[in-house]
Amino acid sequence: MRPLRLTVRIALLTALSLILFLLEGFLPLPFPVPGAKLGLAAIVTLIALRILPRTRDAAAVLLLRIFLSAFLGGGFAPLLYSMAGGLASFAAMALLLRRTQLSLVGISAVGGLLHNMAQLLVAAAVMESSALLLYAPLLGVVGILTGTGIGILAQSTMKKIKY
- Could you tell me the domains of the chain? 3-160 (1.10.1760.20)
- pLDDT value, residue 29: 75
Burial grade of 148 (CB within 10 A; 0-12, 13-18, 19 or more): middle
Q: Which stretches of the chain score pLDDT less than 50?
A: none
**pTM for the full model?**
0.92
Going by C-alpha positions, the residue among 161, 158, 153, 163 that lies closest to residue 40 is 153
Distance CA 73, CA 14 (A): 17
